Each structure stands twice: as C-alpha cells, then as structure tokens.
Structure 1
Amino acid sequence: MCGIVGFTGRENALPILIKGLHALEYRGYDSAGIAAMTEDGLRVIKTRGRIDALEEKVREAGGLHCTCGIGHTRWATHGEPSDANSHPHLGGDGKIAVVHNGIIENYLELREHLTARGYVFRSETDTETVAHLIADLHKESQDGDIAKTVLRAIHRVRGSYALGVVSLDRPDEIVAARRDNPLVIGLGDGENMIASDVTAIIRRTRKYMILDDNEVAIIRPDSVQVFNAFGEPIEKEVRTVTWDMSAAEKGGYEHFMIKEIMEQPRAIAQTIQPRIRDGQIVFEENGLTDDRLKKANHVHIIGCGSALHAGIVGQRVIETIGRVRCTARVASEFRYENPIVEPDDLCIVISQSGETADTLAAMRQAKEAGAFAIAIVNVVSSTIAREADGVLYTWAGPEISVATTKAYSAQLAALYLIAGRLAYARGKMNEEEQRAFCDQLQALPEMLEKMLECKQTMQYLATRYHNRSSVFFLGRGLDYAAAMEASLKLKEISYIHSEAYAAGELKHGTISLIEDGTLVVALATQPELYEKTVSNIREVTSRGAEVILIAGSDFSGDESACRHVVRLPECPALFSASLSIVPLQLLAYYVAVERSCDVDKPRNLAKSVTVE
C-alpha cells in the first residue's frame, strides 16, 4: 500500500519526485524518502512522517541536483514508522538503492542467508533484504547490467512486489519489476518515469505502459525496454490517460472528500448512461450475456470495506428482483473458507483501485473453480480489470481521499445495472418493467443532487454531536446495509467508535450499551419496515438515546421520539441506499472537520490495500 515514483531525464529530478510523492501520499504516509543520483554519488534522504517533512529535509540539504532518482511514501507493514525503516534502502556498499511496495514472504530466510554472508541490516523491513540480495548478486555481474541482476533476484523472492532500483553502475537508469502490485511507466519526451499510479505522472505525460506480473523494465531518459521472466524482450501497449489533471485536484474545496461527495451525481450518471439504450440495459464486450445471467445458479459478490458494503446492497437488490441466490462475502475470508463455487456461478468482484490484494486472490480462486468473474472497478487496466472475464468500469474519475464516497456510489449504480439485466434475462422483469427500471435509474443523479441540499443541515448536526465518544447506526433490510457503510465512514475519518446493527438485534445484547446522551442514527427508507423501525427507535430513546432519523420521503411513522429528521427526496425504495448514504457521508466529513482530523489521510489507513 506504499507509493513508488521514479524519474530519469534532463531536468532536476528532485522536485518532480516530490510532486509525484504528494500525488501518491494517499497510498501511505508513515514515512517518505528519495534516492538521488548526484555528481557526488548516490544520496538518500528519508524521514518518518509526511511528504512535507521530506521536502523540508531536501531543502535543508541545499543545492542537491540529480537527473535520475526514485522516491517512496510508506504505509508500514514490517517495522514501525521510523527514519531507519523508511525507504529507499541501500544494498551492500551503498551503490544500489531500492524502493518497494508489497510484502516479501521469505524475507527472514533471505535475511539469515545475507547476514551469514556479512551484510549488516539497519532496519526491520522486508525490503532491505531485497536491497542486499541485489547487491550480493550484482557482485557477479561482468558488465554492470543491473536489470539482469534484478531479474535474478526476483526469482529468489517469494511474495508481492513493485520495485524501483537504481545503481551507480548505470546512473541514468531505473530498473522496475512487479508481481501482484501496480506499477506504471510514464513515457515523456526525453524523460521517463515509473509510479504506482498514473496520478503521479499526469503532470509530466499522459502516455504510459502497465508493467505486468513477473516483468522487468529498464527505464532510461530516451528509451524503455521491457522483458519477461525469462529475460526476453516484449512489446507493451502504450495507453493514454483520458481524464484531466483538474480531476485529481481539489478545485477550490477544502478537502478531496467533500469535493468527491459533491461529484457523486456525475459519477453515477457516467456509470449508468453508457449502459442504457432505448430503455434497455446493455452490456457490450464484457461477456455478461443474457444466456450467462440466465444460467447462473449462484451469484457471489466479493469485496473489502466499502466495496463489500456496496456488495451487500447489491445482494439484496439482486435477490429481490432477480430471485437468484446471492451472497456477499468479505474477500479475505472467501479465499480461506473453501467456498462452494460451481462452473455456472457468477462472481462479481468489486474494487475501487482494481488492485486490492485479497479481492484479487479471491477472484482468482473463483475463476479456478469455473465461475465467470465480472469486475466492478474504477481504475482502467488495473490488475483485477485485466484478469477478470469481463469488466464494468465505474467511470467515477480519480478518487484521492482515502475514505471512498463517489466510487462507492458508482459501484452501487453498477450493481443496479447488473441486477436489472439479470432480472430481465431470467424472466423476472418484462420489457416494459425494464424500461421503467431504467427510467428510475437514469433519474438517480438528479435525486442525488437534491439529496446534497442537506449539506448545511448535516454540518449543523456535526457541530452538535462531534464530541460523542460512541455512535450507533440502526436499520433493517437495505437500511442495515447502508448503516454499515455509514458507520465505517464515521469511524475511519473521525476516530469515533461507531457500530452498525440490524435494528432487530438490539434486544439481543446491543441495547445494554445505550445510555443517556448516546447518539443513534436510524435509517428508515423501506416502507414495509417503517413500523418495526419506529419500535426500535422507541426502545433506544426510552433509555436516553438521542436519535437522528434518515427517512424516506413517504415515511409515515411517529417522528416525535427523534431529535432530528432528514428526509430523502422521492425515490424508489430499491435505490434508497444510494441516497441515504449521502447525508451520512456529510455527517462523517463535518464531524471529522470539527474534530480537526486529517480528513483525506486518516491515521493508519491507505487508499489501496495491495498487501494481505
């Protein structure tokens, strides 16, 4: 979950590396560092803390200049955040530097071997073993070809990695390698780059290549060569970034999160509109045919975090209108519980980044069992997108804030599309009903625009409740699924303990936690469950809870027990989760602001979880 950047060209690499690291800071911000090929040799500057701290140390170094270098921003796995554990790591006699994203599984074995050969370890990281391993193997090189050495080294490494390596033997050259972690190569004019994400290269170039598993690349200012695991040269497709740099900037907003909350109507529209034609849901060139949907005996939805919560909503919608067995599973459990997957099953894999390690592994497992895997991802040509049998891109645009908002909403929209077409293919929805379903879907962006009008109300509520130590979210049916996502949003950016419960479970233990002043957020958007939900509200208010109610436009229950009521605009109950989450995203955001939290970069979290 770390971020890697590298540059080789004619200009001073240091400001380019720093800007690249700022663009990648959402991937990890425990520490940061750069390795620069200067006239005086290989210079490493690194520090615990944010990129700003690194930038200050670079300024203090004074007059540093190089045209080739690598940089890293870290999310700690092996070893605590510290200067010593920061990347880059030097190998051997200090002539080789390495940055790494991933986990080296056999690092203890390698460390023991290298220690016996006289190498001294100065950190607790798994990455330093790679640096020393490359240095050790490079001693045997006759021509100083660091790429050949890296290729030999990765054959001795077990685990996942995206690597950037520089060596004094080739001072204008970066060697890159990857396995199960993203790495792109930016192609410029007289300069080239490597990065974990295109957001780090977009200021310099729109053209890029994607490095695939077990490939090694040599990046020089005027050329890029890519080799397979056998050292044979291969041709790579050159791709072009289609979105503008402004999409990855705040655009006048205080934080990326609030910008991305406000972008949700557009994100949903861009996901829905291309897939509806003449009142019909249309999937092209992704293999999701009516015949395949008709034959599916079981739909498995796999995701982590917010993607899983979107999947739980999708499960309920698919079972409601498609009448087919559907289960939403957390990816990290799916891959170890020996799941029952049949050849005609449909596997829906959800990941904003398309690089989530557990989700990727679970998808591979489902495919091996014969399931057809369709990916819902936001990042074009990501690993999950490339390995899935078919892909539905959400077209939400780059999402920078660690806490997902617009990507989550776009994932819900994609799931509605699949559910609607599945119901039609299985004869549970006729052509006229499909047309009405599509009309409702196409109206969803406008409904979200109206929902966003509650922004000021949620800001006011945040000023009242930001000092609570614990919050409970209650709901039934689809509202329970939405409550889980709402609870996650609050806890991950405000650090307030919060829990989501199926409202009917209150009496089975949870109600013992309710006391005077406890904040309870109740969701009631499903008409058939209004009476039951009102009963649950009464149960908590009678024990001193203060209730914020998020209610459907037609809610007819007794509101007198609630301190505050926020109503959804008129909306089909089936799509209510797309609207009810908006005020709760806003509540989480404004609570975090009131508590002076780092909204876009919450502690201990990273945007893309690329390690297990």
Structure 2
Amino acid sequence: TRKAVYLDEGEVAELTPGGFRVWDGQGKLLEKPVDLVEWNVAMAEKGGFAHYMHKEIHEQGMVLRSTLKGRVSGGTVDLSKELDWTAEDASRWDRLHIVACGTSYYAALVAERAFERWTDLDVKVDIASEYRYRRVKCDQNTLAVFVSQSGETADTLAAQRKARADGAHCLAITNVPGSTLAREVHSVLLLKAGPEIGVAATKTFTGQVTTLFLVALYLGRLRKTVNADEEERLATEFLQIPYKVEKVLEREKDIIPIAERYADRSNFLFIGRGVSFPVALEGALKLKEISYIHAEAYAAGEMKHGPIALLEPQVPVVVVCPKDSMYEKTLSNIQEARARCAPIIGVCTEGDVLVKRHAEAMMEVPWTDEEFSPFLTVLPLQLLAYHVARILGREIDQPRNLAKSVTVE
C-alpha cells in the first residue's frame, strides 16, 4: 500500500479488514487524514548494485537535480512556495541555530560557513543531544533549523521542542513527509532524495547540504546580504554540480585499488580545513560505520596539538585538499605527515601536481567554487569506505549495532 495515517503522541489505532479507527489518549474517536506516500517499487530495489548503499551513492546526481528542481531557476533561488517567510521575518532573526545528529550534524557543519557568508547571521551548529541541555540564547529572534533524515530522531525532536518553547521559529529539513519533526515545526523543507535503505547515510547527506545551501541563499536574498550578481553566479554553479558529481562517480574504478591497498590497516586519520573539515569528519564516520576500522578526523590545523603523535607508516592519512582558500595551509599539513612517514591519500582537484608529489594515492575531483566542493570531495570518501567494507566482507547495508532511525535517547 502507499496509503499512510500518521499517529500523534498517545494515539491508538485499530486496524480491521474494513478500515481503521484512531483514538486519542482519553478514548475520544478521531478523524485522521489518509496521506499518499510518494514511492514506487523501483525505489526499493537495488537496481543491479550489490548493495543499497552502493546504489544510493550513485543516485546523488539525481538527488541534487530533484532537490534543486523548482527551487533554482533564472539565476535565483526561490523557496516562497514552501516557506511563508517575509523580508520582515528574515530581518528580525539575528541568530541561527542548526541542530542535528551524526551525518546530519556534519551536513550542518558544511552549511555553517555558507550561512555565515550569505546571511550575516550569528550561526551556531550543535549536536542535538548536547543542545537540549545547554542554556543557549533562544527567543523569537532565533531561527532554529533541525536536520534529520527520518524526522524521528529522539534527541533532535527533544531539541526542537525546547527551541519552540523558547519562542524560536523552527524549520525542519527531513526526507520523510509526515514525520513527527515535519508535523511539529513551523516550516518544513523536504530533501526529495527518495528512500534511503542503507543504514549509513550517503545520498541524504548530499540532499541535506543542498537544502541547507538553498535556505542560506534564499535567506540571504530576503535579508539583502547576497546581491543579485552573486546569487546568479552561485545559482548557476549550483546547477552544474550534478554533472560534476556524476563525473566523479565515473572514476570509481580508480578508487578500488586504493581500497585494496589499505583495507588491512587498523587505523585511519582524516584531515581537512575550512569547509573540508566536516567532509573529513563524514569520511571517517562512513569508514568506521561500515568497515569497523577505527578512524578519526581532525581539523588539519590541529595536527600539531596531539594527532601528530599517531603518525607512522601503518596509519594512512586521508587529506581533503581541493584548491581553495585553505589549499596552501593544507598542503603544509600534508608535508608534515609525510615527514613522519605516514602514507597520504589525497582528495584533490584534477591535475594537482603538488599533492601528487607527496601522496601515495590520489582521488581527484573537478574544480568548483569553494562553497560547493563538499558535494564532490565527499564522494571518493564514500566510495573508499564502501569498497574497504566490501573487501572485508562486512554487512554493508546493515552494520552491526546501528539503526537507520535512532528513536531512543
């Protein structure tokens, strides 16, 4: 069936061959609407791939197109059909909180810099399980964004309820229409990523970053902190990203030998600077989730403050180093790691001869504007994790001890 009825807290349903009935906690019979779920059988099939995760990695170009469709055109970002925000609302908000868990949290960290640059807001990104217990300033002048693939993450729901009680305007970014989070907030934007069956998030990370970037650009236009020329330039490049994503995925065969070479290692270190730091965090998470190999990620500038003690020939260092404003600094970190005999796996821009000089292995991506580089640099990390786990014979779609939707605290 594609029909669904969503139950609120405390409600009870009775299913019979002839239909259903729903009561609230006091025993009152309720009239509940029936929604039609937008999915088809093909979405739940592997489509020739060995694992759902592998299929979902390759769907990321499609996810970008789906998420951008109807929202970006003519050099502008327009979310007015989905968000009833006014210029007055946007001007009233003087701080932004983005709250999430796991991969959704790393997507929020990627977007943090975009919001800082494009909206001129005071931006705070926090882990939901921490946010709900902190005394953060949150009132009617706060826009609070809650990111959850399922819309049912217990800590994110609790954090949202706290922010709403404090007077914030709450926006949900989720992949599931009708989820608890989507029903409880003031505003909601859907990822349009389609079902993600693999437990380790891949395409929803891309969908979340895409949607957050759209919010940042739209909010920047409402607040007049992004001018028309800049918006047109960014919107034009945004529409090119799906093609560049597919170009990276076409090079998957180049990543398989790298996975084969390093699959026997017990520890990995991931580093990056600026917008590439949260990409490194996500890359380390993917590897540990599905391969069960210990992996840590650090801001590259923190190498001297502890992680450098771990470097040795048996510890590969995966460096996210596209040609951006942090390139020279990251290159110096690569040289530091090589001086300690650590093997370097570089994720870099096509044709980068300087990284190649120091790296034992390279995973190249096309050039794009610095803001959009995470859409490309995360892909080799997802594929590296996938192929390492495959080589080790792991249960890729259902890793041990993990669940797709974390509904307990």
Normalised by the length of structure 1, the TM-score is: 0.65
**Counterpart of 1:226?**
22
Read off the aligned partner of 2:3 and give its amino acid letter.
K
The letter for the 2-side match of 1:256 is Y
CA offsets 1:308-336 (integer angstroms, 9 cap, x no match): 00000111111122222111100000001
Q: Return the offset for 1:558.
A: 4.8
Q: Match for residue 173 of structure 2?
A: 376
Please report how far the alpha carbon of residue 218 of structure 1 lies from its aligned counterpart in structure 2 after TM superposition.
1.3
Alignment-derived partner of residue 560 in structure 1: 357
Paired position in structure 1 for 2:138:
341
1:522 Cα deviation after fit: 0.3
- Provide, for residues 267-313 of structure 1, a one-character-per-residue CA deviation record: whole Å limited to 9, x for no partner: 11111112124322111243333332232211100000000000001
Following TM superposition, by how much is the alpha carbon of 1:554 offset from its aligned partner in structure 2, in angstroms?
A: 7.2
| CA pair 588-560 structure 1, distance change in 2 beyond 3 A | same
- C-alpha deviations, 1:358-414, integer Å up to 9, x for none? 001101111111111111100111000111111110010000000000011000000
Deviation, 1:526, is 4.8
TM-superposed deviation, 1:556:
6.5
Q: CA RMSD in A?
A: 1.3
What is the rounded CA distance, in whole Å, between the counterparts of 2:328 and 2:72 in structure 1? 36
* Distance in 2 of aligned mates of 1:560 and 1:291: 53
Structure 1 Cα separation of the partners of residues 231 and 301 of structure 2? 33
- Equivalent AA in structure 2 for residue 315 of structure 1: E
Does the C-alpha gap of structure 1 residues 231 and 572 become closer, same or farther in structure 2, counting only changes over 3 Å?
A: same
Partner Cα distance (1:417, 1:554) in 2:
30
Greater Cα radius of gyration, structure 1 or 2:
1
- 1:272 is matched with which residue? 68
Letter of the 1:278 counterpart: G
Deviation at 1:442, TM superposition (A): 1.3
1:23 aligns with none
8 Å contact from structure 1 (residues 524, 555) kept in 2: no
Cα 1:221–1:464, aligned 2, differ >3 Å: closer, same or farther?
same
* Aligned counterparts, 1:49-64, within 5 A: none
User: How do 1:411-422 residues align onto structure 2 when only pairs under 5 Å count?
Assistant: 411-422=208-219
Q: Give the equivalent residue in structure 2 for 1:259.
A: 55
Q: CA deviation at 1:555?
A: 4.6
| 3-state SS in 2 of match to 1:560 | helix
Percent identical across equivalent pairs?
Answer: 41
In the aligned structure 1, how far is the partner of 2:118 from the partner of 2:76? 16
Other structure's SS at 1:505 match: helix
2: distance between equivalents of 1:213 and 1:346? 25
For the pair 1:249 / 2:45, whether they are aligned, the reply is: yes
Stretch moving more, 284-293 or 417-426: 284-293
Give the superposition deviation at 1:255.
0.3
Q: How far apart, CA to CA, are the structure 2 residues paired with 1:535 and 1:419?
A: 32
Q: Distance in 2 between matches of 1:475 and 1:591?
A: 21
Q: Partner of 1:502 in structure 2?
A: 299
Which residue pairs with 1:313 in the alignment? 110
Q: Could you say which structure has the greater relative contact order, defined with CA pairs below 8 angstroms and 6 or more residues apart?
A: 2
Distance 2:8 2:225 in 1: 41
Q: Which residue of 2 aligns with 1:511?
A: 308
Matching of residue 463 in structure 1 with residue 263 in structure 2: no
CA drift at 1:435: 1.8
What code does the residue aligned with 2:106 have? Answer: H
SS of the counterpart of 2:69?
helix
The answer to which structure has the higher helix fraction is 2
Structure 2's unaligned 5+ residue stretches are none
Distance 2:134 2:317 in 1: 34
Q: How far is 1:223 from its partner?
A: 2.4
TM-score (norm: length of structure 2): 0.97
Match of 1:550, SS?
strand
Partner residue in 2 for 1:585: 382
SS of residue paired to 1:329:
strand
Contiguous gaps of at least 5 residues in structure 1: 1-204
